[in-house]
Structure 1
Amino acid sequence: MPLRRIAVLATAACTMTIAACGSGEQPESQPQAPSAPAAVVGIRTAPTGDYLVDASGRTLYLFTKDEPGTSQCVDQCVAQWPPLTGAPQAGPGVDAAKLGTVNRPDGGQQITFSGKPLYYFAQDKAAGDIKGQDKMHVWYVVSPAGEAIKTAAPTG
């Protein structure tokens, strides 16, 4: 009988230990909002002037019809002039204090530079393409000071 009593006590002790530790499942972690991927804004140096680009060297533009902090490029405009989105990050030589974001009319967020929303041009396919320069006399590449470069397209 003493062995049976030891077995019963050992079983009871194990049961109590397991109950005290819980079910063994890990507590559910709180879902976290996905962070936006970083969008690095850099400077491309060209013989006719420096201008803003993304991390892969794609040219960035501003739209002169935008109001500071407000994008006017919506609906079909976005198909040709996609907004720069993500978490703004300054590349070498870029003033991080000039980077920001603005809420777009379509509900997304767009990166700004000196308060001006930044865009790509859909027909620019490779780093250094500047096919959108002076399009319709309202789209321009952006200087590192945050101004439209209205002279001939920088080359480089």
Structure 2
Amino acid sequence: MYQEPWVVAGQGFSNRISGRLLVHCFIMMFMGFFGGFAWLIALADNVFHILPLPRFEIAVPDQKELLRNAHTGPIMNAMYVMLMVALSPRLHFSVTQAKWVYYGAIVMLWGNLVGYVAAVYAPERGLQPVGDWPNLLSYGAFYAAVVGATIATGIILNNAVRAARNKTT
């Protein structure tokens, strides 16, 4: 059975890997839109009213800053991973590096999504490993996301520096 490679010389991530990462990115974008609707409702004092729809009273947590984060965070992380995919042809990943970047990016995306959402319900905002389960969930998810982001960004930085030093004449 043929299995598409992780990387293609001169093209970066293979089509399969690029496509899978982009699926995660667009799911994050979509989830960020939900965070945006919750933020919009909080800003409008728990009212959702977009014409021609009727007015709805929807109770959302009174954590406007954290709801904003649940909107912008997943979208910004998705854009970062999209940039990784777009720049992969210039970064010349080895197969091992491509796997680490791929899984690191996925852990970063989902960890941040879970962290941002759980932080809305956590009095400590997931900043310290204390308190109730939403805070511990948020903290753990953010911790995993930082590890994933650090791994992926470290490999990308290494390869970018290596590409910058390569003198092609």
Tell me the TM-score normalised to structure 2 length: 0.22
Structure number with the bigger relative contact order (C-alpha 8 A, sep ≥ 6) is: 1
Q: Normalized per residue, which structure has more helix?
A: 2
Tell me the TM-score normalised to structure 1 length: 0.23
